[in-house]
Amino acid sequence: MAEQFFLDEDEVSAAAKELRAVGGRLDDLSKWLIGGLDMTRGCWGDDDIGKAFVKNYLKYADVGEMGSAAAAANADAMGENIMKLSEQFVGLDEEAVRRMDKSIKFETKKD
């Protein structure tokens, strides 16, 4: 176990906020992608080429849609969880200091 551990609250907070912002941008891009794909669904026709396209394309498009939405949600959740863990760590550290202060009794000599 490490003898010393330091957590820079400001750095962790900034990184967590940036990760959440990335999640927001990914969410916007995911919605744009899904909207674009939804607008083109069915435009390839019912002939053999259109059916082949549907067979080979849609399953991957659907996976891409789900993956992009999940990536956005995961980035946002990671940022939120990192922030919560940072707050809990700081709280534990402060609680440890309070307990140590209570357990140490300083005696002063009176002259």
Whether residue 108 lies inside any domain: the answer is no
Query: CA nearest 68: which of 38, 32, 39?
Result: 32
The reply to whether 1 falls in a domain is no
Interatomic CA distance for residues 95 and 7, integer angstroms: 15
Residues 49, 72: Cα–Cα separation, whole Å? 34
What is the pLDDT, as a whole number, of residue 83?
Answer: 92
The pTM for the full model equals 0.67
The answer to whether residue 89 sits within a structural domain is: yes
- Domain enclosing residue 45, as ranges: 11-100
Tens of pLDDT, residue by residue, the chain (111 residues): 567 777 788 999 999 999 999 999 999 999 998 898 888 777 778 899 888 888 888 778 888 889 999 999 999 999 999 999 988 888 887 787 788 788 886 555 565
What 8-state DSSP symbol labels residue 6? -
Q: How many domains does the chain have?
A: 1
